[in-house]
Amino acid sequence: MSVTRTPKTVAQHDSGTVFASPPALRSPAKVASFVEQVLVELRHEAVAARYVTDLDQTGAKTIWCRVEHTTLDVDAAYVQIRNDPRLGVGIEPCSQATVRERLCQCLDHDRVGRVDVRPLAGVEFESG
């Protein structure tokens, strides 16, 4: 996967993580609020919401980002990219509503996984 990097965006998000998921004790209201913050970032910056299934970050990863910040030829506003060491990389076009729903599901159901927002240019997936 390749992405479009602009000097302004890269400089603005040098630190790696823009913000990370809320604490483990999550209320539905806090989850919804966090997800809305993520969606605002996704709309306005070349960032990705990244979900990692385990805290040592060696497991499967999923990111959601706006298609316009990638070189992917996809007829959708957003794309979901899954990278599973066992299955490889899978790309699925999706809508903003789908991103909202899936992020909420991740935060509601998985207490050890995490979601963060980071520069899209800094998100790496191994292919193969």
Give the per-residue pLDDT at 56: 53
Average per-residue pLDDT for the chain: 78
Would you say residue 128 lies in a domain?
no
**What domain count does the chain have?**
1
SS3 of 125, please?
Answer: coil
User: Is the separation of the CB atoms in 108 and 31 below 8 Å?
Assistant: yes
pLDDT of residue 58: 65
Tell me, yes or no, whether 38 lies in a domain. Answer: yes
In a domain, 36, yes or no: yes
In a domain, 42, yes or no: yes
Question: Containing domain of residue 63, as a range?
Answer: 7-121
The residue ranking higher by pLDDT, 23 or 95, is 95
Residue 103 has pLDDT above 80, yes or no: yes
Q: What is the pTM for the complete model shown?
A: 0.77
Beta pairing partners, 115: 51
Residues 6+ apart with CB under 8 A from 94: 64, 76, 78, 79, 80, 102
The answer to whether position 20 is within a domain reads yes
Asked, for residue 127, whether it belongs to a domain, the answer is: no
pLDDT digits (tens, 9 = 90+) for 10-20: 334 444 567 77
pLDDT tens, position by position, 39-82: 999 998 899 998 887 655 567 789 999 999 888 888 999 999 99
The number of CA neighbours under 13 Å toward the Cβ of 124 is: 5
Q: How high is the pLDDT of residue 7?
A: 34
